Amino acid sequence: MLVIRKVRKSVSCKMISHLNHLFSTPISEKGSTSHSPQKFSSLNIRCFRSSPNAKIEVPELSTQTPISPAVNKISRVARTDGQAVLFEYLHCTRGFNYVDAEHISKNSPCFLQSLLSKVDNDQDVTRALTRYFRYHPINEFEPFLESLGLKQSELTSMLPRDLIFLSDDHVLFDNYHVLCYYGIPRTKIGKIYKEATDVFGYDHGVLDMKLRAYEKLGLSRSTVIKLVTCSPTLLVGETNSELIQVLEKLKILGFENDWMGGYLSNRHSYNWGRMLNTLHFLNEVGYSDEKMATLFTMNPAFLFEGSGKQIYVLVGQLLKLGVKMNDIYLLFCQNPNMLSLKCTKNLWHALYFLSEIGLETEIIANIVSTHIQLLGSHSLKGPKTLLRDFKGDKFCLCQTIKDDPLNLFRLASKSKFDVEQMTSQDPGKLFQKTTFLLRLGYVENSDEMAKALKQFRGRGDQLQERFDCLVNAGLDCNVVINMIKQAPTTLNQSKNVLEKKIVLLKTYLGYPVESIVSFPSYLCYDVDRVHLRFSMYAWLKQKGAAKPTLSVSTLLACSDARFVKYFVDIHPEGPAMWESLKSSLQSS
């Protein structure tokens, strides 16, 4: 707590409480949060209460029997026949509608295998199971819950007591249908059942009203579906105020309400409170709305993966080293790219490495302050790997790093690049360039990254400026990334040249900027070549001597001789016009 008291008063109390929770273990201890951060919270799983009026004894022949390895030998034909009989039982005998019966019968493989295990191999599956269903009513909650996407190991604790027929809990089934009709995939409803059980006990109309409430915030139905499948607790209680504040903040940053829908995953749960605190913290460390928007545009995972947890982990580690909060603010302000996911991870592992070998916290803090860019741009080997070279002598290794902190990168960096060469140049520029390439999806220290560093010319900020130029021209960010990977030299031209080629495309051809997506090499051609050929083609269209919508690649990719043959000589006045255009271009 002594370190925490050093934090300046402007930092929110909520963030400090998160840091206290996350980083109560010393950084140098094995298994500490620096190496394996613990989960923030666990969700309580609640089961439905049984109806007091329905007391039905479950038959002795329960289908909850563990599946033996022999069950896997059941043939595909037997499994198909079993599905058909189960469907027939649910639809015709029990009165389930066609869609419900079909979904349950086809999406409860473990339950079906357990049933089939009761049938001898030499028996007719259809006849045997039909007879079985006639005398042994099944616990319908078993196949139903499994069909919602729940694992077999989760079902036992979730089965209601004293109930085996779904019709006995019509409230549950009604709310299930509300979710289905809204568009939530049936196999995703299991997570809602597990994490927000109360949803299935709502009175008629309540669940639909809660879903519509999120649409009233300006979210599309598809985004609402992703939200509630990722965070089922949003459907419990009032409309989540922290989510509303996150949406409002993102709107201020220039993001549409549905922007987040493209990055949500039902494999994760989201902590909207922590996400909101992350947004506030970035404001406090000096991030303007413009910088924050750029950070989230290039690294949306920073906000959505872990709900901004990385910032808490990183700040907590630095605080434990004794770095003052004011100095942390300054580090982030001077090195804003350090908050990218890759850089944060590298820095986090570097801190663990240095503490694991026993380096004093003061020395670690000094290395972080003076070499934060190198720490963020390079991943390091494990401490045990490097100690082998020193025969396990931690003191010797620590002394080597104290003598020259760059020895850390010479000895432990996984990078193929020469550290001396990097530092003899401008390490900041190389860091910016590497960071930019990481944003494009290149893998650090890979052969592709090494090749890209040679192909792309210019500083990181210049490459970013050229990238933004194409995005601002109307192209989607992901589309531009794919274009650049197809034609890397696109970004070797200045912003002015790129803008001029886009203007030529629109002015002479009248084509939208999207027309070059399939031919990104267009942006790599010489401006004079583009100007001359586009001018000639525009003249031919005016004369009615050329097709009106030829592709850009057709006009530029051919040789000069071929172009003259097919786009100059096809009109009597073509050669004279061609020479006139060339003279005009040379004199300008």
Q: List Cα–Cα distances, 580 to 259, 535, 541, in angstroms.
A: 51, 11, 17
Element (H, E) at 104: helix 98-106
For the segment 167-186, what is each residue's pLDDT rounded down to a tens digit? 888 899 899 999 999 999 99
The helix/strand/coil state of 88 is helix
Asked if 286 and 328 touch (Cβ cutoff 8 Å), the reply is no
Q: List Cα–Cα distances, 144 to 65, 104, 139, 140, 187, in angstroms.
A: 17, 6, 9, 6, 10
Ranges assigned E (strand) in 4-162:
none
- Mean pLDDT over all residues of the chain? 77
What integer pLDDT is reported at residue 11 of this predicted model? 43
What integer pLDDT is reported at residue 180 of this predicted model? 92
For the segment 63-101, what is each residue's pLDDT rounded down to a tens digit? 444 433 334 466 788 888 888 989 988 888 888 899 999
pLDDT band for position 329 (cuts 50, 70, 90): low
Lowest mean pLDDT among 18-27, 253-262, 432-441, 466-475: 18-27
What integer pLDDT is reported at residue 429 of this predicted model? 60
The sign one gets for the Cα dihedral 268, 274, 280, 284 is negative
- CA 86/CA 92 separation, integer angstroms: 10
Question: Is the pLDDT reported for residue 132 higher than 80?
Answer: yes
- CA 211/CA 221 separation, integer angstroms: 9
pLDDT band for position 7 (cuts 50, 70, 90): very low
Asked if 228 and 234 touch (Cβ cutoff 8 Å), the reply is yes
Asked if 266 and 191 touch (Cβ cutoff 8 Å), the reply is yes
What integer pLDDT is reported at residue 240 of this predicted model? 86
Portion of the chain with pLDDT greater than 70, in percent: 78
Asked if 4 and 312 touch (Cβ cutoff 8 Å), the reply is no
| Alpha-helical runs (H) found in 321-393 | 325-334, 341-356, 361-377, 383-389
What integer pLDDT is reported at residue 430 of this predicted model? 62
Which of 374, 553, 524 minimizes the C-alpha distance to 457? Answer: 524
- Encoding tokens for residue 535? 């001018």
Residue whose tokens read 């097709």: 547
| Phi/psi of residue 36, nearest 5 degrees | -145, 80
- CA 498/CA 480 separation, integer angstroms: 13
Question: Is the pLDDT reported for residue 337 higher than 50?
Answer: yes
Question: Is the pLDDT reported for residue 60 higher than 70?
Answer: no
Count the Cβ atoms, other than its own, within 10 Å of residue 392.
10
What integer pLDDT is reported at residue 283 of this predicted model? 78
What integer pLDDT is reported at residue 22 of this predicted model? 42
User: Is pLDDT larger for residue 383 or for residue 295?
Assistant: 383
Asked if 440 and 405 touch (Cβ cutoff 8 Å), the reply is no
- Encoding tokens for residue 250? 């993102």
Asked if 168 and 162 touch (Cβ cutoff 8 Å), the reply is no
What integer pLDDT is reported at residue 179 of this predicted model? 93
Please list, in sequence order, all residues whose beta carbon lies within 8 angstroms of the beta carbon of residue 45, skipping any fewer than 6 positions away: 154, 157, 158, 194, 195, 197
Output the CA torsion 186→187→189→195 (10° steps).
180
Question: Is the pLDDT reported for residue 45 higher than 50?
Answer: no
- CA 376/CA 379 separation, integer angstroms: 8
Lowest mean pLDDT among 47-51, 408-412, 414-418: 47-51
Question: Is the pLDDT reported for residue 398 higher than 90?
Answer: no
pLDDT band for position 122 (cuts 50, 70, 90): low
| Phi/psi of residue 489, nearest 5 degrees | -70, -5
Asked if 567 and 533 touch (Cβ cutoff 8 Å), the reply is yes
- CA 551/CA 82 separation, integer angstroms: 56
Asked if 536 and 509 touch (Cβ cutoff 8 Å), the reply is no
- Three-class SS of 466-515: HHHHHHHCCCCHHHHHHHHHHCHHHHHCCHHHHHHHHHHHHHHHCCCHHH
- Encoding tokens for residue 291? 């910088």
Provide Rg for the chain, Cα atoms: 32
- CA 285/CA 330 separation, integer angstroms: 8
What integer pLDDT is reported at residue 177 of this predicted model? 92
What integer pLDDT is reported at residue 24 of this predicted model? 38
Query: Mean pLDDT over residues 50-62, rounded?
Result: 35
The sign one gets for the Cα dihedral 364, 370, 371, 373 is positive
Asked if 401 and 359 touch (Cβ cutoff 8 Å), the reply is yes
Asked if 271 and 310 touch (Cβ cutoff 8 Å), the reply is no
Taking each helix axis from N to C terminus, what angle separates 460-472 and 427-439, rounded to the nearest 10 degrees? 30
pLDDT band for position 26 (cuts 50, 70, 90): very low
Q: Cα angle vertex 44, ends 38, 50, to 5°?
A: 165
Q: Cα angle vertex 446, ends 400, 425, to 5°?
A: 55
Which of 144, 70, 139 minimizes the C-alpha distance to 107? Answer: 144
Asked if 493 and 486 touch (Cβ cutoff 8 Å), the reply is no
Which of 81, 125, 122 minimizes the C-alpha distance to 105? Answer: 81
Residue whose tokens read 């629109």: 506
- CA 212/CA 205 separation, integer angstroms: 11
391: left (phi over 0), alpha (psi -120 to 50) or beta: left
